[in-house]
Amino acid sequence: MSNSNQTQPKDFGYGEEQDMLKNAAQRFISDLAPLEALRKDIAGTEDPYLGEERRGFYDADAWREMAALGWSALAVPERCGGAEMGLVTAVALAEEIGAAAMPTPLTSTLQSTFLLREMATPEADAVLSRIAEGAAVTWAFSDAHGCLHPRDTSVIAEQGRLSGTAHFVQDLQKADVIVVAAQEDAGVAWYALDAGGEGVALAADRIVDLTRDQGRVILEGASGTRLTDAAAGLAAYDAALPALLTLLAADIAGAAEWVLQATAEYAKTRQQFDRPIGFFQAVKHPIVDMMIAADQSRSLVYAAACAFDFDREDALRLALLAKSSASDTAGFCANRGTQLHGGIGFTWESDVQIYHKRLMHAQQLLGDGVAQRAALAALL
């Protein structure tokens, strides 16, 4: 369990336990081959703007296996049936999800877990118990303009009934429970809704990321469970924000590392002018730059996670730095990886374009690098 009063440990608190988890995740995901299943499922709907609407790919059996392995309950408190691990451990797992570009609600569920933990109410604990039992949970507050803080939510709560629309909700088609921020007379409170509940309508967005689904939660007098009062809603979000940002940055860091390794391997085998293209400085130098960017982002991710677990006073600063770096790394590695793969990198047959789209989508979530640096400047 995290403790903000402890001195930060060496190696960001990453040790044998986290290493074993990453290795187990790599083996599990490799055997699962999620991108092969994804390709079969979305065949004919790859273009989000033409043809039939693409539903979010979801391997429910894989999710149940992950829940059985305890991954979804990784950060759930022991009192709610979880393992009560810290953010460093959750980040290690989120990084592997990104490295595999795996379509799964795991990262959203981990984010929801840290948000619910900060609420510290019996109602929030009940949702955490559902996560420990295998429920997929996502969270929502954004308005149509993409607000970056729940204080601007367009959902209204009146006498326990919710109305309005929450936009840009991640993994919406995979979620069992949606945690929503809503405006009340006295401020912002959080509510839990069943995804299939009365008065809850889900509408999918057309996005280019093949590995995620995104949508809107349209509420018309929906009845939800109030998780916090209006005085505590924003405080819970602000306390959880470093974890939300760091988990996103970890996903990006994992995907960027995959693009780096795939591009380096391609540069060793692709021949041009009777030499591997990696021989040429015009290819060699960008790959080195990709490596530097990916390593920098990963270091900041684990520094931020360690601060959240052991030094909360510095957690937000480091989380903003981590997401800022990761967002920039996402754009750079996606661009260079696709370019250095040449014509094949743009084709549907290549996995590079799948990672490219995932990285560009993740780059914008909770604000891109410019937004993070603006928040950091205001903090300092």
Q: Which of 174, 205, 231 is the last residue of a domain?
A: 231
Mean pLDDT for the chain overall: 93
Q: Which of 100, 135, 129 is nearest to 117 (CA)?
A: 129
Do the domain assignments include residue 2? no
Strands 271-272 and 275-276, how do they pair?
antiparallel
Question: Domain with 276 in it: what CATH number?
Answer: 1.20.140.10
Q: Which of 231, 254, 271 is the last residue of a domain?
A: 231
Cα dihedral sign, 151-318-72-240 = negative
* 179 plus 193 within the same structural domain: yes
* 370 plus 263 within the same structural domain: yes
Tell me, what's the pLDDT at 2?
44
* 346 plus 322 within the same structural domain: yes
Mean pLDDT of 122-127: 98
Q: What is the pLDDT of residues 296-330, one digit of tens each?
A: 999 999 999 999 999 999 999 999 999 999 999 99
Q: What is the residue-wise DSSP string for 272-284?
A: ETTEEGGGSHHHH
Distance of CA 150 to the CA centre of its chain: 18
Which structure tokens are listed for 166? 């929450």
Q: Rounded to whole angstroms, how far apart are CA atoms 35 and 40?
A: 9
Phi and psi, residue 23, nearest 5°: -65, -40
Do residues 327 and 368 lie in contact, with contact meaning Cβ atoms separated by under 8 Å? Answer: yes
> Is residue 102 helix, strand or coil?
coil
Question: Domain with 24 in it: what CATH number?
Answer: 1.10.540.10
Q: Evaluate if pTM is beyond 0.75.
A: yes
DSSP letter for 21, please. H
Q: Rounded to whole angstroms, how far apart are CA atoms 151 and 351?
A: 39
Measured between its terminal Cα atoms, the distance across the chain in Å is 29
* 187 plus 207 within the same structural domain: yes
Number of structural domains (the chain) is 3
- Show the domain range for 194: 139-231
Q: Rounded to the nearest 10 degrees, how much is the dihedral formed by the CA atoms of 54, 112, 132, 79?
A: -170
Q: Rounded to whole angstroms, how far apart are CA atoms 171 and 57?
A: 10
Q: Rounded to whole angstroms, how far apart are CA atoms 121 and 350?
A: 47
Q: Rounded to whole angstroms, how far apart are CA atoms 191 and 178?
A: 8
Q: What is the pLDDT of residues 60-94, one digit of tens each?
A: 999 999 999 999 999 999 999 999 999 999 999 99
Beta-strand runs (E) in the chain: 137-140, 156-158, 161-170, 177-184, 187-194, 200-204, 214-223, 225-226, 271-272, 275-276
Sole residue written with tokens 């601007």 = 152
Do the domain assignments include residue 169? yes
* 256 plus 350 within the same structural domain: yes
Question: Domain with 213 in it: what CATH number?
Answer: 2.40.110.10
Q: Rounded to the nearest 10 degrees, how much is the dihedral formed by the CA atoms of 268, 269, 274, 279?
A: -10
Q: What is the pLDDT of residues 234-276, one digit of tens each?
A: 999 999 999 999 999 999 999 999 999 999 998 888 767 878 7
Tell me, what's the pLDDT at 279?
64
Q: Is the pLDDT of residue 145 over 60?
A: yes
Do the domain assignments include residue 5? no
* 216 plus 268 within the same structural domain: no
Q: Which of 54, 90, 94 is nearest to 75 (CA)?
A: 90
Quick one: pLDDT band at residue 5, thresholds 50, 70, 90? Answer: very low
Maximum Cα–Cα distance across the chain: 74
* 190 plus 218 within the same structural domain: yes
* 287 plus 180 within the same structural domain: no
Do the domain assignments include residue 343? yes
